[in-house]
Amino acid sequence: MDFVFRRQYRGPVKAVIMDWSGTTVDYGSCAPARVVVELFGRYDVPISVAEARGPMGMHKKDHIRALTQVPAIARRWEQVHGRPPVEADVEAMYADFQPLLLDILADYATPIPGLLEAVSAFGEHGCTIGSCTGYTRETMDVLAPAAQKLGYKPDSIVSVSDVPAGRPAPWMALLSAMQLGVYPMEAVVKVGDTLVDVAEGLNAGMWTISVAKTGNGLGLNQAEVLALSEEELRARLAPICAQMYAAGAHYVVDGVSDVPPLLDEIEARLARGEHPTGG
Protein backbone atom coordinates (compact mmCIF):
# COMPACT_ATOMS: atom_id res chain seq x y z
CA MET A 1 0.00 0.00 0.00
CA ASP A 2 1.50 3.34 -1.08
CA PHE A 3 -0.52 5.65 1.21
CA VAL A 4 -1.66 5.49 4.84
CA PHE A 5 -4.21 7.66 6.61
CA ARG A 6 -2.77 10.09 9.16
CA ARG A 7 -5.16 12.04 11.35
CA GLN A 8 -3.87 15.51 12.32
CA TYR A 9 -5.26 18.15 14.62
CA ARG A 10 -4.85 21.66 13.23
CA GLY A 11 -7.19 23.61 15.48
CA PRO A 12 -6.72 26.01 18.38
CA VAL A 13 -5.17 25.57 21.81
CA LYS A 14 -8.04 24.70 24.13
CA ALA A 15 -6.51 24.47 27.60
CA VAL A 16 -3.49 25.39 29.69
CA ILE A 17 -2.61 23.06 32.57
CA MET A 18 -0.20 24.50 35.13
CA ASP A 19 1.77 23.25 38.08
CA TRP A 20 1.41 25.02 41.43
CA SER A 21 4.51 25.70 43.55
CA GLY A 22 7.12 27.60 41.54
CA THR A 23 4.84 28.00 38.52
CA THR A 24 1.67 29.75 39.69
CA VAL A 25 2.27 30.37 43.42
CA ASP A 26 5.22 30.25 45.83
CA TYR A 27 7.87 32.12 43.86
CA GLY A 28 11.00 29.96 43.89
CA SER A 29 9.13 26.84 45.07
CA CYS A 30 10.39 27.57 48.57
CA ALA A 31 7.82 25.83 50.77
CA PRO A 32 8.56 22.20 49.81
CA ALA A 33 12.34 22.76 49.79
CA ARG A 34 12.22 24.32 53.24
CA VAL A 35 10.17 21.46 54.66
CA VAL A 36 12.34 18.72 53.12
CA VAL A 37 15.49 20.26 54.61
CA GLU A 38 13.81 20.51 58.02
CA LEU A 39 12.50 16.95 57.72
CA PHE A 40 15.91 15.38 57.16
CA GLY A 41 17.33 17.55 59.92
CA ARG A 42 14.82 16.02 62.33
CA TYR A 43 16.40 12.66 61.53
CA ASP A 44 19.85 14.17 62.18
CA VAL A 45 20.79 13.89 58.50
CA PRO A 46 21.68 17.35 57.15
CA ILE A 47 20.97 18.02 53.49
CA SER A 48 21.41 21.19 51.48
CA VAL A 49 18.60 23.12 49.85
CA ALA A 50 20.10 22.20 46.48
CA GLU A 51 19.93 18.50 47.39
CA ALA A 52 16.36 18.90 48.63
CA ARG A 53 15.34 20.43 45.32
CA GLY A 54 16.74 17.62 43.15
CA PRO A 55 13.61 15.43 42.79
CA MET A 56 11.15 18.35 43.01
CA GLY A 57 7.86 17.91 41.21
CA MET A 58 7.39 14.27 42.20
CA HIS A 59 4.87 12.89 44.66
CA LYS A 60 6.42 13.94 47.96
CA LYS A 61 6.83 10.35 49.14
CA ASP A 62 8.67 9.57 45.90
CA HIS A 63 10.68 12.77 46.45
CA ILE A 64 11.77 11.65 49.91
CA ARG A 65 12.54 8.13 48.67
CA ALA A 66 14.65 9.53 45.82
CA LEU A 67 16.67 11.61 48.29
CA THR A 68 17.39 8.59 50.50
CA GLN A 69 18.80 6.90 47.39
CA VAL A 70 21.28 9.71 46.67
CA PRO A 71 24.63 8.11 47.57
CA ALA A 72 25.94 11.07 49.59
CA ILE A 73 22.73 11.36 51.60
CA ALA A 74 22.52 7.60 52.13
CA ARG A 75 26.09 7.66 53.52
CA ARG A 76 25.20 10.43 55.94
CA TRP A 77 22.15 8.47 57.03
CA GLU A 78 24.22 5.35 57.65
CA GLN A 79 26.80 7.32 59.65
CA VAL A 80 24.04 8.54 61.97
CA HIS A 81 21.73 5.52 62.13
CA GLY A 82 24.21 2.69 61.61
CA ARG A 83 22.45 1.32 58.55
CA PRO A 84 21.27 2.50 55.13
CA PRO A 85 17.80 4.08 54.88
CA VAL A 86 14.99 1.61 54.14
CA GLU A 87 11.40 1.90 52.99
CA ALA A 88 10.11 2.06 56.56
CA ASP A 89 12.19 5.21 57.01
CA VAL A 90 10.62 6.72 53.90
CA GLU A 91 7.14 5.97 55.24
CA ALA A 92 7.97 7.48 58.63
CA MET A 93 9.49 10.60 57.09
CA TYR A 94 6.56 11.09 54.77
CA ALA A 95 4.18 10.87 57.73
CA ASP A 96 6.20 13.67 59.37
CA PHE A 97 6.41 15.67 56.15
CA GLN A 98 2.70 16.28 55.71
CA PRO A 99 2.00 18.17 58.98
CA LEU A 100 5.19 20.20 58.58
CA LEU A 101 4.05 21.31 55.14
CA LEU A 102 0.46 21.99 56.16
CA ASP A 103 1.67 24.27 58.96
CA ILE A 104 3.33 26.71 56.56
CA LEU A 105 1.60 26.22 53.22
CA ALA A 106 -0.93 29.04 53.41
CA ASP A 107 1.98 31.46 53.75
CA TYR A 108 3.20 30.37 50.29
CA ALA A 109 -0.05 30.82 48.36
CA THR A 110 0.73 34.23 46.87
CA PRO A 111 0.30 34.20 43.08
CA ILE A 112 3.52 34.70 41.18
CA PRO A 113 3.60 38.16 39.54
CA GLY A 114 1.82 38.11 36.19
CA LEU A 115 -0.19 34.96 36.92
CA LEU A 116 -3.60 36.60 37.19
CA GLU A 117 -3.00 38.60 34.02
CA ALA A 118 -1.86 35.42 32.23
CA VAL A 119 -4.98 33.55 33.35
CA SER A 120 -7.11 36.40 32.00
CA ALA A 121 -5.23 36.24 28.70
CA PHE A 122 -5.74 32.49 28.50
CA GLY A 123 -9.46 33.01 28.97
CA GLU A 124 -9.57 35.64 26.24
CA HIS A 125 -7.82 33.14 23.99
CA GLY A 126 -10.62 30.65 24.64
CA CYS A 127 -8.65 28.37 26.97
CA THR A 128 -9.78 26.72 30.16
CA ILE A 129 -7.30 26.47 33.05
CA GLY A 130 -6.26 23.20 34.61
CA SER A 131 -3.74 22.46 37.32
CA CYS A 132 -1.86 19.50 38.75
CA THR A 133 0.63 19.08 41.55
CA GLY A 134 2.91 16.73 43.43
CA TYR A 135 1.00 17.79 46.56
CA THR A 136 -1.74 15.55 47.96
CA ARG A 137 -5.44 16.39 48.08
CA GLU A 138 -5.12 17.14 51.80
CA THR A 139 -2.41 19.67 50.98
CA MET A 140 -4.42 21.25 48.20
CA ASP A 141 -7.37 21.64 50.55
CA VAL A 142 -5.16 24.19 52.33
CA LEU A 143 -3.30 25.74 49.39
CA ALA A 144 -6.13 26.14 46.86
CA PRO A 145 -8.50 28.14 49.14
CA ALA A 146 -5.61 30.37 50.22
CA ALA A 147 -4.73 31.06 46.57
CA GLN A 148 -8.37 31.65 45.70
CA LYS A 149 -8.58 34.39 48.33
CA LEU A 150 -5.72 36.07 46.47
CA GLY A 151 -7.44 35.77 43.08
CA TYR A 152 -6.30 32.46 41.59
CA LYS A 153 -8.85 29.71 40.99
CA PRO A 154 -8.18 27.25 38.14
CA ASP A 155 -11.07 25.35 36.54
CA SER A 156 -9.56 21.99 37.52
CA ILE A 157 -7.33 20.92 40.39
CA VAL A 158 -5.74 17.46 40.21
CA SER A 159 -3.48 16.27 43.02
CA VAL A 160 -1.15 13.31 43.12
CA SER A 161 -3.69 11.61 45.40
CA ASP A 162 -6.13 11.43 42.49
CA VAL A 163 -4.04 9.22 40.20
CA PRO A 164 -2.21 5.86 40.28
CA ALA A 165 1.23 7.50 39.97
CA GLY A 166 2.67 11.00 39.98
CA ARG A 167 5.12 12.59 37.59
CA PRO A 168 6.75 11.71 35.27
CA ALA A 169 3.64 9.62 34.55
CA PRO A 170 1.07 11.57 32.50
CA TRP A 171 -1.98 10.71 34.59
CA MET A 172 -2.45 14.03 36.40
CA ALA A 173 -2.27 16.05 33.19
CA LEU A 174 -4.60 13.63 31.42
CA LEU A 175 -7.10 13.66 34.29
CA SER A 176 -7.05 17.45 34.29
CA ALA A 177 -7.77 17.48 30.55
CA MET A 178 -10.62 15.04 31.12
CA GLN A 179 -12.08 17.21 33.88
CA LEU A 180 -11.83 20.23 31.59
CA GLY A 181 -13.46 18.27 28.76
CA VAL A 182 -10.73 19.07 26.24
CA TYR A 183 -9.10 16.92 23.58
CA PRO A 184 -7.04 15.98 21.62
CA MET A 185 -3.96 16.31 23.81
CA GLU A 186 -2.11 18.35 21.20
CA ALA A 187 -4.67 21.08 21.90
CA VAL A 188 -3.36 21.31 25.47
CA VAL A 189 -0.34 23.17 26.87
CA LYS A 190 1.35 21.93 30.06
CA VAL A 191 3.35 24.49 32.08
CA GLY A 192 5.68 23.63 34.96
CA ASP A 193 9.01 24.42 36.60
CA THR A 194 10.70 21.02 36.97
CA LEU A 195 12.16 18.39 34.69
CA VAL A 196 9.46 15.90 35.70
CA ASP A 197 6.88 18.51 34.66
CA VAL A 198 8.42 18.37 31.20
CA ALA A 199 8.29 14.58 31.18
CA GLU A 200 4.68 14.62 32.36
CA GLY A 201 3.61 16.94 29.56
CA LEU A 202 5.47 15.02 26.88
CA ASN A 203 4.19 11.68 28.14
CA ALA A 204 0.67 13.09 27.95
CA GLY A 205 1.24 14.21 24.33
CA MET A 206 0.93 17.91 25.20
CA TRP A 207 2.90 21.01 24.29
CA THR A 208 5.25 21.64 27.19
CA ILE A 209 6.50 24.97 28.50
CA SER A 210 9.02 25.29 31.34
CA VAL A 211 9.38 28.30 33.62
CA ALA A 212 12.95 28.91 34.77
CA LYS A 213 13.19 32.10 36.80
CA THR A 214 10.29 31.64 39.23
CA GLY A 215 10.70 27.93 39.81
CA ASN A 216 12.64 25.21 41.51
CA GLY A 217 15.64 25.28 39.17
CA LEU A 218 16.78 28.74 40.26
CA GLY A 219 15.20 28.29 43.68
CA LEU A 220 15.21 31.93 44.75
CA ASN A 221 12.30 33.97 46.05
CA GLN A 222 11.34 37.20 44.32
CA ALA A 223 13.39 39.44 46.61
CA GLU A 224 16.49 37.30 46.06
CA VAL A 225 16.00 37.38 42.29
CA LEU A 226 15.61 41.16 42.29
CA ALA A 227 18.87 41.47 44.22
CA LEU A 228 20.80 39.85 41.35
CA SER A 229 22.26 41.84 38.50
CA GLU A 230 20.77 41.05 35.11
CA GLU A 231 24.10 39.56 34.05
CA GLU A 232 24.29 37.25 37.06
CA LEU A 233 20.63 36.25 36.69
CA ARG A 234 21.07 35.28 33.04
CA ALA A 235 24.25 33.38 33.85
CA ARG A 236 22.40 31.35 36.50
CA LEU A 237 19.41 30.75 34.24
CA ALA A 238 21.43 29.57 31.24
CA PRO A 239 22.20 26.03 32.50
CA ILE A 240 18.66 25.66 33.86
CA CYS A 241 17.18 26.53 30.48
CA ALA A 242 19.61 24.16 28.76
CA GLN A 243 18.53 21.32 31.05
CA MET A 244 14.87 21.98 30.33
CA TYR A 245 15.39 22.05 26.59
CA ALA A 246 17.47 18.88 26.82
CA ALA A 247 14.58 17.23 28.67
CA GLY A 248 12.33 18.05 25.70
CA ALA A 249 10.56 21.29 26.64
CA HIS A 250 9.14 23.01 23.58
CA TYR A 251 9.68 26.43 25.15
CA VAL A 252 11.48 27.77 28.22
CA VAL A 253 10.43 31.12 29.66
CA ASP A 254 11.15 33.18 32.76
CA GLY A 255 7.67 32.86 34.21
CA VAL A 256 4.00 32.23 33.52
CA SER A 257 3.51 35.82 32.34
CA ASP A 258 5.56 34.90 29.26
CA VAL A 259 3.25 32.05 28.25
CA PRO A 260 0.24 33.83 26.63
CA PRO A 261 2.12 35.05 23.51
CA LEU A 262 3.27 31.47 22.85
CA LEU A 263 -0.28 30.23 22.30
CA ASP A 264 -0.44 31.91 18.89
CA GLU A 265 2.91 30.37 17.98
CA ILE A 266 1.75 26.91 19.05
CA GLU A 267 -1.42 27.31 17.00
CA ALA A 268 0.68 28.29 13.99
CA ARG A 269 2.71 25.12 14.45
CA LEU A 270 -0.46 23.06 14.70
CA ALA A 271 -1.76 24.67 11.52
CA ARG A 272 1.44 23.56 9.77
CA GLY A 273 0.78 20.00 10.86
CA GLU A 274 3.32 19.90 13.69
CA HIS A 275 2.70 17.69 16.71
CA PRO A 276 4.10 18.10 20.24
CA THR A 277 5.72 14.67 20.17
CA GLY A 278 7.29 15.35 16.79
CA GLY A 279 5.29 12.69 15.01
Catalytic sites, residue numbers: 19, 60
Q: Hey, CA dihedral for 212, 205, 131, 32, is it positive or negative?
A: negative
Edge to edge, the sheet with strand 188-192 lists 156-159, 128-133, 15-18, 188-192, 207-211, 251-253
Phi-psi region of 15 (alpha: psi -120 to 50; beta: other; left: phi over 0): beta
Q: How far is CA 261 from CA 121, 130, 225, 256, 266, in A?
A: 9, 18, 23, 11, 9
| 128, containing H or E segment | strand 128-133
Cis status, amide bond into 184, omega within 30 of 0: yes
Q: Are 26 and 20 in contact (CB under 8 A)?
A: yes
